[in-house]
Structure 1
């Protein structure tokens, strides 16, 4: 089996590499811990580490990133530092100098972010760095990042999508396409040469939060209507494979971390793939990653939809299954919250069943759950084993409803 670097980057053997990286940069490594892992079994592994470093000017907490591959390094790897131990070459960087996210250094510092906003004429008069507050909302090394920017005067909030160069023009065009059609996607305030998409905050609250407030956050019909309001031009975009097409890939990723789940995941993969084989790809306009974290609600209705990067042709069941999969795997709920989500699913799923094929819906939802089961390990959650097992059991429950 090709060495994809998983063993090196997730074990103690990585310490000499991290120590060498820090010393090369002029510091001394005092301590470190694994922070995040992205693995493509038999192809590559990328990991980040939280490290305490003593620099000449004092101690700081730093984020180090390392990518290892079975084959040759990629062209963008050359933007990082390349280290070699005689057996393999790895690409290493110090946050925010991610080799694939060229705009991350701009989004990470108030002075650079203020300069970008001012250069783009976002405000009538320039803003100063002391009026900006930056919060990292999510960082997937070498893939994407989102930074929340709160401006105190004039009071406004933006979300900055840090994109890879090849994806930037496409994502920008998709936001504009939906806005022009009246779909409540975020308004683009500014795009930058280093591939930042600066979006104005949408109204309302996140459905992920509103789920646990009194009353219904929105109706099942409202969710379907939002999806059905996407323009037909979305169906002319490049097709993105549904989550179910990659179920074997995600099952392999989970099995690599928890081999004892291998037989169950093999059974799930076979049942999902066989059950969906008769369904055509579909040409409905779809969101592609439709879940509670992507939706804004207010007054019991959906008022906004986020992360439209993935829109394209597909099947409505894909989107509705994605939502079911996410709602079925929310972690760390208290009993009242669990009861609220179960009640919503009990009432929403029959409505979805009238819009799409019920068997297809559950099989696709199970595939989404398996893709999500890679998350606890990637994020190095303390109880990642228990969370992963629970998710796989949720996928099994969905499949057993229809097979």
Structure 2
């Protein structure tokens, strides 16, 4: 099996590389811990580390990133520092200088972000870095980042998507397409040469939060309706493979970190792939990553839809299955919250069953759960084993309903 770097980057053997990289930057590594792991088995591994570093000007905790590949390093790896441990070459960088996200240094520092907003004429007045509050909403090293920007006095909120160059024009076009069709996607306030997409905050609250407020956050019919309202042009976009197409890949990823579950995962992946093979690809306009974190609601109705980067042709069952998969794997709920989610699923799923094939829906939802089961380990959750096993059991229950 090709050495994808997983064993090196997740073991103490990585320390000499981290130490060399820090010393190259003029610092001294005091301590480190694994923060996040992204793996493409047999191809590549990227890991980030929280590192305590002594610099000439004082001590700081920094985020270090390292990428290893089975073959040659990529063109963008050259933007990082290349180190050789005698067996392989790896790319190492210090946040925010991510080699694939050239706009991240702008989005990470208030003064630079203020300059970008001022240059783009986004606000009615110029602002300084002192008037901005930045918070990282999500960071997938070498893939994407989302930064929340709050402008103070008076308050305005923006979200900055930090994108890879090859995806930028496509994502911008998708936002425009949906907005022009009346779909409540975020309004683009600024697109920069560094591949930053600055969008205005949508109204309402996240469905992920509204789930636990009194009453129903929206109806199952609303959820189907926002998807069915997408313009036909979405079905002409480039096709994105549904989650179920990669169920074998994700099952192997989970098995690599939890070998005891390998047989169960292999069985599920085989059942899902075999049984879904009889369904055509589908040409309905779809969201592609439809879950509770992507929707804004108010007054029991949907008022916004986020992360439209993934829209394209597909099957409605994929979108509804994605939502079921995510709702079935929410972590750290109390008993009351668990009961609320179970109740919503019990009422929503029968409505979904009338819109799409119930067998397909469950198989695709199980595939989504298996993809999500990579998350606790990637994020290095303290109880990642237990979380992962819970997800595997949830996926297995769905598959066994229909086989």
The TM-score with structure 1 as length reference comes to: 1.00
Cα distance in 1 for residues equivalent to 2:169 and 2:285: 20
Cα distance in 2 for residues equivalent to 1:52 and 1:109: 20
> What is the SS of the residue equivalent to 1:167?
helix
Q: Per-residue CA shift, 1:350-370, capped at 9, x if unaligned?
A: 000000000000000000000
Q: Say yes or no: does 1:231 pair with 2:225.
A: no
Cα distance in 1 for residues equivalent to 2:144 and 2:154: 28
Determine the structure 2 residue equivalent to 1:280: 280
Determine the structure 2 residue equivalent to 1:380: 380
Q: Per-residue CA shift, 1:132-180, capped at 9, x if unaligned?
A: 0000000000000000000013320000000000000000000000000
Q: Per-residue CA shift, 1:278-314, capped at 9, x if unaligned?
A: 1000000000000000000000001000000000000
Cα distance in 2 for residues equivalent to 1:178 and 1:123: 24
Determine the structure 2 residue equivalent to 1:57: 57
Q: Say yes or no: does 1:296 pair with 2:261.
A: no
- How do 1:23-34 residues align onto structure 2 when only pairs under 5 Å count? 23-34=23-34
Of residues 152-161 and 22-31 in structure 1, the stretch that sits farther from structure 2 once superposed is 152-161
Cα distance in 2 for residues equivalent to 1:99 and 1:229: 38
Tell me the CA shift for residue 274 of structure 1.
Answer: 1.1
Q: Per-residue CA shift, 1:83-105, capped at 9, x if unaligned?
A: 01221000000000000000000
Determine the structure 1 residue equivalent to 2:394: 394
Cα distance in 1 for residues equivalent to 2:194 and 2:110: 16
Determine the structure 2 residue equivalent to 1:79: 79
- How do 1:121-200 residues align onto structure 2 when only pairs under 5 Å count? 121-200=121-200
- How do 1:294-333 residues align onto structure 2 when only pairs under 5 Å count? 294-333=294-333
Cα distance in 1 for residues equivalent to 2:247 and 2:397: 16
> What is the SS of the residue equivalent to 1:343?
helix
Tell me the CA shift for residue 123 of structure 1.
Answer: 1.3
Determine the structure 1 residue equivalent to 2:106: 106
> What is the SS of the residue equivalent to 2:194?
coil
Cα distance in 1 for residues equivalent to 2:171 and 2:359: 32
Q: Per-residue CA shift, 1:10-46, capped at 9, x if unaligned?
A: 0100111111111110001011000000001111000
Moved over 3 A (4+): none
Cα distance in 2 for residues equivalent to 1:9 and 1:85: 12
Determine the structure 2 residue equivalent to 1:352: 352
Of residues 120-129 and 343-352 in structure 1, the stretch that sits farther from structure 2 once superposed is 120-129
Determine the structure 2 residue equivalent to 1:20: 20
Determine the structure 2 residue equivalent to 1:66: 66
Cα distance in 1 for residues equivalent to 2:386 and 2:367: 19
Cα distance in 1 for residues equivalent to 2:364 and 2:153: 46
Determine the structure 1 residue equivalent to 2:205: 205
Determine the structure 2 residue equivalent to 1:246: 246
> What is the SS of the residue equivalent to 2:185?
coil
How many pairs does the alignment contain? 403
Cα distance in 2 for residues equivalent to 1:143 and 1:154: 33
Cα distance in 2 for residues equivalent to 1:13 and 1:116: 41
Structure 1, unaligned runs of 5 or more: none
> What is the SS of the residue equivalent to 1:401?
helix
Determine the structure 2 residue equivalent to 1:366: 366
> What is the SS of the residue equivalent to 1:381?
coil
Aligned-residue RMSD, C-alpha: 0.5
Q: Say yes or no: does 1:118 pair with 2:149.
A: no
Tell me the CA shift for residue 275 of structure 1.
Answer: 1.1
Q: Per-residue CA shift, 1:240-285, capped at 9, x if unaligned?
A: 0000000000000000001111100110011101110110000000
Cα distance in 2 for residues equivalent to 1:39 and 1:135: 26
Structure 2, unaligned runs of 5 or more: none
Q: Per-residue CA shift, 1:54-85, capped at 9, x if unaligned?
A: 00000001000000001000000000000012
Cα distance in 2 for residues equivalent to 1:253 and 1:357: 28
